[in-house]
Amino acid sequence: MVRRGLRPALVDALALLVFVAVGVATHHASGGAFVRDAACILGGWFAAALVVRLYARGGRLRLAATWLLGVTAGIAVRAALVGHFAIDFYAVALAFTALFVLAARGALHVASDTKVGV
């Protein structure tokens, strides 16, 4: 049996990787940029998730805290690595990570509620 928090964690990781992939493809960036940005976003997200216990306890408030703290931390680390912080990139990252994570979690919820053969 899969632990309670494993599926949401995998779905969140996939959603965040899709966000990074779309950004890298849209801006014609390199594979190195993908790795850098993915490491920053995923690292920030899962560090925040650990602190707020998102996958142990769940809940909308913990998800919102993970989103705000994690994406902010990831963007801050990325900004330090690339040498500049862009407020427009930060705003886009907040908006689209929220959209992608919520869409992915919605799909997981629908898939979990669907009974095979019914």
Q: Rounded to whole angstroms, how far apart are CA atoms 51 and 90?
A: 22
Q: What is the mean pLDDT of residues 84-99?
A: 97
Per residue in 36-85, pLDDT tens? 999 999 999 999 999 999 999 999 999 999 999 999 999 999 999 999 99
In sequence order, which residues have a C-beta less than 8 Å from that of residue 89 and are 6 or more positions away?
75
Residue-wise burial string across 34-56, b where 16 or more C-beta atoms lie within 10 A, e elsewhere: bebbbebbbebbbbbbeebebbe
pLDDT for res 3? 67
Q: Which pLDDT score is estimated for 31? A: 92
